[in-house]
């Protein structure tokens, strides 16, 4: 078996027994990337020399000692590009480490490569990347999801052992579901956002994408915790998230929200999720029907709050202190107008316009304030539900991976890809997507994700529920036949 197909915990075992070295893992990944990333396009850049150097000094006795981790192009790693897949940050080199990167380094991990994404994390397919989309390793004609689509694709295609992504409305969980890997959105405030280029500050969280639940728990052990550089982080103890993994689901109550099994849900996705629910019942969990009555308002709430916050956050891209500046400028207003016209892509402009409108004089109360109030109603739905259930089960995405180009002309259709993941960001709770089967479309097997939502700060129970299913099923071990896919693409060229 190639070292690139190892999981994090398998690699840690082998490293600690001195059967392999961190350098060999990095070399195996470099080889794999050179072989197939031309077709996947999961990475925007990677620096093998620096990774090999880090590997030489890695202390394998540390919690993630010697483990290379791919980083979404929105998290700052000192000395590496951090371009958010945008032209406006082309050539930008991060002058400092994000807090999560400091923590990963302190735990012995090796930040490795920059993964592709929708520009500024705005999108659900990576098609908004200024550098071209990534492809789904299960079917190269389809999207890996987004916005952390590069991170999901490289984990699924064994071009990384694990990756970091960011999740504002589903940007970790949705691509994890579409690529057949595990993706975690932590509780808001659980993981520091310092060094994450801000999209929507009241929603953004950094989290791991991995090949299994245990690996995600191991990474969460390292990146969680309060940070003086991010005042929204919670000063709460970080438990060992691996401690309860094997406790099973006997005596746990799991809720099934009726609002998540609606028209528009793909029948094959519904079938796979319902089968997973039945499996949980076999494993000893009590399944109860619940209602989250304000679910239908989540999408509208999101598309006020996220663009509004984005329009304020992206005001910093002014072509003065960093990034791109347009040529042939005639004056100050021309400087801003042209730089931002040429530097930002379509979707980013669209959202800045929408957000500026929602915050503009006379509209703030009608849009942003109202949306923040509806957010309270959504949060209360979850409070009520978690009074009686330990976790909630639902689909991660209403459909399996869609075709590249299928939804780019219709923003609202694209936004619907996140309909089941948005509410967790609104409520600030934690969520995970794990593989729970396949849909068969046009003769291709496409992964389906099961979403498990947990109470705020109760990642431990969320991981326990996820692990009980994963360890009694085989879905997470299935691998895409990307060798064949990449050969086919070469043939087409």
Shortest reach from residue 371's CB to other proteins, in Å: 6
Nearer to other proteins, 280 or 303 (CB): 303
353 counts as binding other proteins under rule CB under 8 A: yes
Nearer to other proteins, 164 or 427 (CB): 427
80 counts as binding other proteins under rule CB under 8 A: no
Is residue 198 within 8 A of residue 313, CB to CB? The reply is yes
Shortest reach from residue 199's CB to other proteins, in Å: 15
| Annotated catalytic residue within 171, 397, 433, 486 | 171
336 counts as binding other proteins under rule CB under 8 A: yes
Nearer to other proteins, 1 or 332 (CB): 332
192 contacts: CB under 8 Å, gap ≥ 6: 98, 99, 100, 206, 223, 225, 226, 227, 229, 230, 233
199 counts as binding other proteins under rule CB under 8 A: no
Name residues contacting other proteins, limited to 305-334 (CB under 8 A). 311, 315, 318-325, 329, 331-334
Burial of 412 (0-12, 13-18, 19+ CB in 10 A): exposed
327 contacts: CB under 8 Å, gap ≥ 6: none
301 counts as binding other proteins under rule CB under 8 A: yes
Name residues contacting other proteins, limited to 270-299 (CB under 8 A). 294, 296-297, 299
The CB density around residue 336, as the number of other CB atoms within 10 Å, is 17
| Angstrom distance (rounded) from CA 487 to CA 150 | 20
Nearer to other proteins, 267 or 328 (CB): 328
H or E, element range at 68: strand 68-72
Question: Count of residues binding other proteins (CB under 8 A)?
Answer: 74
Nearer to other proteins, 6 or 85 (CB): 85
H and E: helices and strands count for the chain: 16, 11
| Annotated catalytic residue within 4, 147, 166, 486 | 147
Name residues contacting other proteins, limited to 366-395 (CB under 8 A). 366-367, 369-377, 379
The residue among 118, 40, 110 whose CA lies nearest residue 80 is 110
Q: What SS3 class is residue 13? A: helix
Which range in 20-28, 168-176, 207-215, 344-352 contacts other proteins by CB under 8 A?
344-352
Any catalytic annotation for residue 72? yes
Which range in 18-26, 29-37, 346-354, 397-405 contacts other proteins by CB under 8 A?
346-354
What sign for the dihedral angle of Cα 192, 197, 202, 207? negative
Is residue 292 within 8 A of residue 323, CB to CB? The reply is no
CA distances from 283 to 144, 244, 449 (A): 31, 16, 19
231 counts as binding other proteins under rule CB under 8 A: yes
Any catalytic annotation for residue 147? yes
> From the list 428, 437, 449, 454, which residue makes contact with other proteins (rule: CB under 8 A)?
428
- Enzyme catalytic residues: 72, 147, 171
């Amino acid at each position: 078996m190639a070292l690139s197909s190892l999981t994090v915990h398998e690699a840690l075992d082998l490293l600690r027994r001195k059967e392999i070295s961190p350098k060999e893992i990095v070399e195996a990944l470099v080889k794999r990337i050179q072989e197939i990333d031309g077709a996947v396009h999961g990475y925007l850049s990677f620096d093998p020399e620096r990774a090999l150097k880090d590997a030489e000094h890695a202390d394998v006795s540390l919690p993630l000692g010697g483990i290379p981790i791919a980083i979404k192009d929105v998290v700052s790693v000192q000395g590496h590009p951090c371009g958010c897949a945008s032209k406006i940050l082309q050539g930008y080199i991060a002058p400092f480490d994000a807090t999560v990167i400091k923590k990963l380094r302190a735990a012995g991990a090796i930040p490795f490569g920059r993964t592709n994404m929708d520009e500024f994390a705005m999108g659900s397919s990576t098609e908004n990347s200024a550098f071209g989309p990534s492809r789904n390793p299960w079917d190269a004609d389809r999207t890996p999801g987004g916005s952390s689509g590069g991170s999901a694709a490289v984990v699924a295609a064994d071009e990384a052992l694990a990756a970091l992504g960011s999740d504002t409305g589903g940007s970790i969980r949705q691509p994890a579901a579409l690529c057949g890997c595990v993706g975690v959105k932590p509780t808001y405030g659980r993981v520091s956002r310092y060094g994450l280029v801000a999209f929507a500050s009241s929603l953004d969280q950094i989290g791991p994408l991995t090949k299994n639940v245990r690996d995600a728990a191991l990474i969460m052990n390292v990146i969680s915790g309060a940070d003086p550089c991010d005042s929204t982080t919670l000063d709460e103890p970080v438990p060992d998230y691996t401690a309860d993994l094997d406790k099973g689901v006997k005596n746990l109550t799991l809720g099934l929200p009726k609002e998540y099994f609606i028209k528009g849900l793909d029948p094959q996705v519904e079938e796979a999720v319902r089968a997973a629910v039945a499996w949980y019942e076999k494993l000893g969990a009590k399944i109860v029907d619940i209602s989250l009555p304000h679910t239908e308002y989540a999408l509208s709430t999101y598309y006020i709050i996220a663009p509004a916050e984005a329009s304020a956050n992206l005001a910093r891209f002014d072509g003065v202190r960093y990034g791109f500046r347009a040529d042939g400028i005639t004056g100050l207003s021309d400087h801003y107008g042209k730089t931002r016209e040429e530097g930002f892509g379509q979707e980013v402009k669209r959202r800045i316009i929408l957000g500026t409108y929602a915050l503009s004089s006379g509209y703030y109360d009608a849009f942003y304030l109202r949306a923040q109030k509806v957010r309270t109603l959504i949060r209360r739905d979850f409070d009520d539900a978690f009074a009686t259930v330990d976790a909630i089960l639902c689909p991660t995405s209403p459909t399996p991976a869609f075709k590249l180009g299928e939804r780019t002309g219709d923003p609202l259709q694209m936004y619907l890809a996140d309909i089941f993941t948005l509410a967790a960001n609104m409520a600030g709770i934690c969520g995970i997507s794990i593989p729970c089967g396949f849909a068969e479309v046009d003769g291709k097997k496409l992964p389906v994700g099961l979403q498990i939502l947990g109470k705020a700060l109760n990642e431990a129970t969320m991981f326990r529920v996820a692990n009980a299913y994963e360890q009694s099923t085989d879905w997470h071990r299935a691998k895409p036949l990307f060798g064949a896919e990449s050969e086919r693409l070469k043939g087409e060229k």
